[in-house]
Chains A and B, each alone.
Chain A
């Protein structure tokens, strides 16, 4: 298993600002992901955080809006840039020890509200 620490747990931000969310895993994992959960909706994958290279973004998500870093195997950050009220969501970091067929572990999430 893996324990994932995510911070901040919540934040209230002003329109036009940026917020960086940090994710730390207690053991080495192969895959790290960032999800978004909008109010009343299911989780949507934003991107896969690749160690030492650019993240792989899903359709509808772009690097300029959601820059992601993963400098090593256990740490990743997601930045929500130039925020608008539509960005108000829960953002979740997740990780899996191996590609496919394995449990996905999640951080506790970041509740973001944009005024």
Chain B
């Protein structure tokens, strides 16, 4: 199975900050990397597919990059509503696997 490792596991940042979350795959997954946002008690929300393609309706302050084994999710100017847990997920091969999550808190 492909292991996905996110860093950091948690972070705290201020409104307006630029935030970057990293996701690393245990072997190459080309661009088969997706990102999700989950708020407490809610279902995950899909943000980005194919490493960098933004889902329709997702604010443009969110962006993704990377290929191979190393990927990043960037929030260019953090907003209060971005407080959530973020997950990366590989769809290169089954079993599809998720990172352990990054808990983003607003200071």
Answer whether A and B are interacting partners: no
Which B residues have a C-beta under 8 Å from some C-beta of A?
none
